[in-house]
Structure 1
Amino acid sequence: MARTKKPAAAEPLEWVDLPHELYAATCAELVTLSVKTVNSNAPACGIRLAIEQALRLPYVSARTLLGAGEVPALDYPANKGRVATAVKQMNQLREGVAAAPADEAEGILAMLAQATARGVRIGTDKVSLRARQVLLPRQGGYVSATPMTAGGVSQKIRTRVREHNERVKEVQDGSLRRIPVAVFGLGGSNLQNVGSLARDMQRPLVFFAPTEDRELKAVLALHFQGVRIRLPRPLLRSFRDWCTDCRRRHGGQIPTNMDTRDEEVAHMRAIAHAVLAQGETARERLLAQRDVLPAGGTPLISAEADPLARGLVDPDLRDGDWPRAFAARLAALIADYRFGDGHEEFQFEQADIFQLQAMIEEVAR
């Protein structure tokens, strides 16, 4: 049986001897945020954050990384002479992969830690014409801000994304989703003129706008607002035709005898039952989608919704006054209804509306 070949050992990285003064000058100007990745032709400009500028907030940025105890990698604000090489070798020392002599490595790391323990501003005394400016509203006026990028944040994100996507390949059970990245042409053909971390900024995360889920939108609207009463037009048209016929046959008035009242009650019962059925349909819809509602649908209807709308959907929320309130609302809606079809509209006086209300209330109780 053939033996599996062992992977070849990684060759040690070449170490270039550089003057101590170059490391000292480079350390002094390392920055967290640089303007070069916004415009590579802009003069050197950058800011190194101090530990006291850390923030503890639930999103990723240079300051929140500091707040979480993680220091973003630093970069040079401009490449001049052999600065890029010096930064490259300091990063190798931090990662433990440099082939530097032990005493030299120890000295450079100590110098780096001492120099970067405090914040610094490079080239911020004026804003270059090549830099961008954003006007942010503040207290009735505006504040001009110049965007700068933190390559160290991009490096952290890229590392985590790589680890996650590798994990996706290993799991392969559909429980994890691969995070997509794009290709961002940053820095041109000579990346080191932009910064040592520019390569980590060339793979930004890609996010796609969520598509509208109309069913979810409707369910959430029901939860927060309750159901809106929709008058059943065919039943109202039938009731109007009945009213018109009664007035035509009885000198412009609707009789108050028992037969006429029973017929009117039948119309009101049909309309009231149709509206109450709307609430029951909404309740069933909410119960079927309870898992997408806030707090698992407890309560089924938001406490901020109109009490009448809440009771229409959930009978358990109807107190002793709800039937009367429902009847008053529905009677008023019927009286104000306009068909707009060129035919006669409802002609109710206030006493008539009170009678409609009494009929509806009887159904709702």
Structure 2
Amino acid sequence: MNPLKHNPFLNRQKLKSGRVMFLLVVFVSLSSWCYLAVGIETGAYVLVYPSNFGNRIQIPANNPTTKQGVYLGRMLFYENRLSAANTVSCGSCHHQDKAFTDGLAFSKGVDNVLTSRNSMSLANLLWARKFFWDGRADGLEEQAITPLTNPHEMGQSLDASAQKIGKIAAYPPLFKLVYGDSSITGDRIVKAIAQFERTLISANSRYDQYLRSAYQPTPDELKGMELFNNAPQPEKGIRGANCSHCHGGVKTYMELFHNNGLDSIPKDAGIAELTSLPADRGRFKVPTLRNIALTAPYMHDGRFKTLDQVLDHYSDHILESASLSSFLRGESNEPGGTSLKLQPLEKKQIIAFLNMLTDQDFIHNPDFADPHLLTSKNKKY
């Protein structure tokens, strides 16, 4: 979707006025290549997204998005040496082909201890204000600190990370290009990673194409879309799955926290860990459904392996609790019913619509790929 390319191997002849050619010649003893001439574009990075996504984006004044900053952030996002054992990067738990999730219920960090919650997708964080399942971080810069320093994730202090990558010949010139001098600090590391993550925009699924009249959905996709957006009104003959209450709007999420009936006594307190309010127990951030077919397993604890299991839960297995979100109480497609009671065909139709949310451009965009792999394919001796 983003027409701006940040390929580190730009042809020198293609660098026009307004762009700066930055020549970096390094020797890296820990890699399979000996030196590399890298053309890095500089200047403001233009974030491209559809107008229907809205302009309520979150970019702090002290961390403007630049082309060189995004390039550095991408390098750091995939940098294993930001972890204590040099084995884990941000990309270890956020794979591009899985819409920046990892396909696991819980992820393993440097000490092989499992995380306590499922790895969330990084799609469309440009619009997000609260991060993590419990919303404890107020911005991407703050969010990045936790996985970098958590002893069970990347397990390394920001100061240690800064000192370590400062010894890698490639990084001081890059930091100078981005920040004006070659000083490497933890604050600069998280700012660069946040810049890259803001560019992870997913906005060219078949659903997006449908919205701009470039794709005609199948009958099942259209019916699934209708069920997704409708609340059930059996007295009027209207059937629905009530999904849009949480996942409405073109970005398919609302920045809300809900208890969706997974447990009668929630084992994980969710946002109540922060608020200490009984009514918040078991409430978690509503995730985006963008690329949902690629991001299994589902829920904060990864308990559901398939979308069929997710639909079965919402249709027939919501559990009552004191903190269950009110809109899930008593919703039914049957008069006097106590659960949604979706029909098997309706579930298949809803899943057909959910598959429309897969964005092939997003998962194959070379601008989001591991640049370290690109350098190894373009090695010189």
TM-score class, shorter-chain normalisation, is: under 0.3
Say which structure, 1 or 2, has more relative contact order (CA 8 Å, 6+ apart).
2
Q: Which has the higher helix share?
A: 1
**How high is the TM-score relative to the length of structure 1?**
0.21
TM-score normalised over the length of structure 2:
0.20
